[in-house]
Amino acid sequence: MYEAWLKTTIEANPACKPKGSEEYEAWLKASIEANPACQPEGSEKKKAWRDVTPQCQPEESEEYEAWRHVTPQRQPEGSEEKEAWRKAVLEGSKTKLAKRMAEPLPDTVVAAKHAEAKRMAAKESAATVIEENKSAQADLKC
């Protein structure tokens, strides 16, 4: 079920198409055109974007300073804000990992684990049969 969903999702996503394909190139062009940060220097779209983006303002400007003060990763090394931000990022990563570990495994993983368990059981069974045969052969030689 997961594999079918993944295949459908990839097939429907133009970003997943082969580079150079018509669909991929059209998606890339539209994405670049829609993103003001990707516009040519001096274009109206890029100027308008820079005017409203605090981190694009001159470093000594009030807008830049206000943005920097509320952005934890921009705080000085060792500051409480930066350390709290790092801790939150680490905790968030741990939480995401714990959630992923708690999720049911995809059908293919479950099937592979089941097949491996069956293979190991067959191997153990074969080893038991071989030992029993050796024992029976030893009894016959006596």
Q: What is the mean pLDDT of residues 76-84?
A: 89
What's the predicted TM-score (pTM) here? 0.40
Cα–Cα distance, 107 to 80 (Å, whole number):
45
SS3 84: helix
* Rounded Cα gap, residues 39 and 43, in angstroms: 7
With a CB cutoff of 8 Å and minimum separation 6, the contacts of 3 are 106, 107, 108
For residue 106, what is the DSSP state?
P
Listed in order, strand segments (DSSP E) in 6-135 are none
Entry field: residues in the chain: 142
Structural domain boundaries in the chain? 10-52, 58-103, 105-142
What share of the chain in percent tops pLDDT 90? 15
To 10 degrees, the CA torsion angle through 42, 48, 49, 54?
110
pLDDT at residue 142 tops 70: no
Taking all residues of the chain, what is their mean pLDDT, rounded to a whole number? 86
Cα angle 121, 122, 125 (rounded to 5 degrees) comes to 85
Cα distances from 69 to residues 51, 60, 65, 81, 86, in angstroms, run 19, 13, 6, 10, 16
User: Which positions ≥6 away from 95 have C-beta within 8 Å?
Assistant: none
What does the pLDDT look like over 8-63, one tens digit per residue? 888 888 888 888 999 989 988 998 888 888 888 888 988 998 888 888 899 889 99
CA distance 40 to 33: 10
